[in-house]
A = this chain, B = another copy of it.
Amino acid sequence: MAQKIYDLTIPIEMGMPTYPGDPRYRTRQLKSIEKDGFALYKVMMGDHTGTHVDAPCHFIPGGITVSDLPLEMLNGRARVIEIHNPEKVDAPELQELLHHDNFRVLFKTRNSLLWRNGRKFKKNFIYITAAAAQLIVDSGIKLVGFDYLSVDRFGDETHPVHDILLRNQVIIVEGLNLAEVDEGSYDLNCLPLKLQGLDAAPARVILKG
């Protein structure tokens, strides 16, 4: 019996929400079946478009690049944890939910509902606090998945959560849609494009279980 596959990936399409300041996704059709016998497109996008992986060198000088992230960390068992706090992922709540055998955790928050009719970027998304980020590091977690386009509170120019996680080699996966997935343990496949030397890459992310 095959396992069910959940696609956690946001469709990449014109008009999709992007983080303010990031390039918009655009395509240009270069060839068509009608005129040329085959289709061909050019695509243009930021490296943090849609569902994507942040590598340490997004914020940390000399940090590892997205093409060098170990596939052994990006793929394996992962736990989906539902966060009921409507404002933030904070340490006291997280303390009870994290176990030392979780290397990969995906936080499902109300953010996942923002993708439903979400053409516009929403600034008041649920974020992770610096205390929670430190707890994540101290718990031995190596990959954090999140269901909006940043883990830091919008407008916080000190971006403490990126800083704490990436400085400690914790891989960040942003822009997941976890609306259809229940809490529990799954097989995660998180495969970012192999964009050589870049600080991030769009990814396709699935769960099996």
Q: Looking at chain A, what size class is its interface with the partner chain? A: 35 or more
**Contact A13 B46, beta carbon cutoff 8 Å:** no
Contacts of A41 in B (CB 8 A): 46-47, 195, 198-200
Q: Which residue of B lies closest to A2 (CB)?
A: B72
A9 and B8 alpha carbons, distance in the complex (Å): 21
A200 and B47 alpha carbons, distance in the complex (Å): 19
**Contact A195 B12, beta carbon cutoff 8 Å:** yes
List A25-83 residues whose CB lies under 8 Å from chain B. Answer: 27, 30-31, 33-34, 37-48, 50-51, 57-61, 67, 71-72, 75-76
What are 21 pairs between A and B in contact, CB < 8 Å?
Answer: A2-B76, A5-B72, A7-B71, A9-B194, A10-B194, A11-B196, A13-B195, A27-B195, A38-B199, A39-B57, A40-B48, A40-B199, A42-B44, A42-B45, A42-B47, A43-B46, A50-B194, A75-B208, A191-B191, A191-B206, A192-B204
